[in-house]
Amino acid sequence: MNVTTPCWVKQAVFYQIFPDRFAKTPQPRHSLPPTMQVPLEAWDAPPQFHSYKGGDLWGVIEKLDYLVDLGITAIYFTPIFQSASNHRYHTHDYYKIDPLLGGEPAFDAFLEAAHSRGLKVVLDGVFNHASRGFFYFNDILENGSHSPWIDWFQVEQWPLAAYDGDKPANYKGWWNMRALPVFNHDHPPAREYIMEVGEYWIKKGIDGWRLDVPGEVKTEGFWAEFRDRVKAINPEAYIVGEVWDDATEWLQGDQFDGVMNYLFTGPTLAFVAGDRVDQALVDGPGYFPYPAIQAEEYGKKMTQLLRQYPWEIQLTQLNLLSSHDIARVLSVVGEDRASYELALLLLMTFPGAPSIYYGDEVGMVGGLDPDCRRGFLPAEQWDQDWLNLHKQLIALRRSHPPLQTGDYQVVLAEEWVYVFSRRLGNETRWVALNASESQASINLPVTQELGEPLFGAGRAVQGEKGWSLELPARSGMVL
């Protein structure tokens, strides 16, 4: 099969935004429409499962120049459609932007402002399940067996118990959650509805879809049809799935362009942080940044991962260190800055599109959900050194094509020292990491002239038999 993926993703740097927590409109709240004049949780208060902090799309517009200055080229939003939850995975209406986010006027203004700055926009498609408030399921709750939309969902028996936990729900909910009734994807009208939603927002101008739990849709050919219909409107639209483990089934070029690459995340943190990983923060989520591994094992895992899918797919994987579903990376590594710096260096030099979770770049911490979804820090609390580090590494990636699309070759992997190359045509960039507690000297099998390091505190020394690198403890460099 001839695998093609969106060209722009191969050069992209993503920024993931949880809309309720990133930015509020700067307008006084009394001048806002009534839908937004509601009681809100304090922005700096610990986030709760069911409260709103009031972030909105007008506020995101105000932050776009900040994102451009950071070096971001694409935004991935968690859901923004009308919903009865702060995370908006309980969809009420797939054709309406949540009023608390500013509704359609705010989204239209945001999309125009983002595109005018060259930023791509990817929305979250929650198409495995809807919510109790979704009109067609709500009709079933109101009208029971007389509802014409029964076949849209997986009703097992009557009566339904959508709220009473002492009785069987009698319909299939995602992970047995009554709030999230699962679609019947085998039912043609329900299937067509989802396809048309996918088409509608692509026609509106979005640049792609992130698909929530797509592996739980078992209907044969569903995602292939979704791809065909989306790509018929925009061949360069990005389709990325939330698949946490082996995604071979979906990454053959006929369904997704990539997945959220947790198979990169786990081993990377297990290598650079080792025993510093806070086990209490990683026992639940299934990305396994433990047990600690050394360079040889890390190299094997990365080599295996890069052989797992076609190369065109590798270049459009969505690589990440944090997300709304896992504890923030700085907390996971025990707030050890060297561990995070090494992980960030690997993120920005690995094949695929790197993604920064909002606030990681200014030093935000946070435990498991909902703590990983705190309000974005005010500017006076930003760690400026941390922000500059992110800017530096993002700029490095964007200005060196081999770090974007060059092939990946492990050069050396011994104990806690790891070196790999990214080669594109006649250009090669070397990336070296020393995750140990002592300085390391590395002999490189390189005969060509090496210049000053592009990044890092180490240095290259030319000898009779080639080059050696001297790397301080817990540091990395790019040549």
**Active site positions, annotated:** 212, 242
Bridge partners, 120 (sequence order)? 74
Nearest to 437 by CA among 467, 475, 411: 475
Helix (H) or strand (E) holding 60: helix 57-70
Beta strand 91-97 with 81-83 is: antiparallel
CA distance 328 to 79: 19
Beta strand 353-357 with 14-17 is: parallel
CA distance 10 to 316: 6
The SS3 of residue 314 is helix
Helix (H) or strand (E) holding 461: strand 459-463
CA distance 273 to 268: 8
Count Cα neighbours of 168 within 13 Å in the Cβ-side half-sphere: 8
61's tokens = 């517009």
Which amino acid belongs to residue 10? K
Beta strand 120-125 with 208-211 is: parallel
Question: How many angstroms separate the Cα of 65 from the Cα of each of 20, 253, 294, 310, 460?
Answer: 19, 35, 40, 35, 37
Helix (H) or strand (E) holding 67: helix 57-70
**Omega prior to 267 cis, within 30 of 0:** no
Question: How many angstroms separate the Cα of 323 from the Cα of each of 128, 285, 315, 477?
Answer: 20, 11, 20, 26
27's tokens = 């307008």
Helix (H) or strand (E) holding 120: strand 120-125
Does residue 250 contact residue 259 with C-beta atoms inside 8 Å? yes
196's tokens = 């048309």
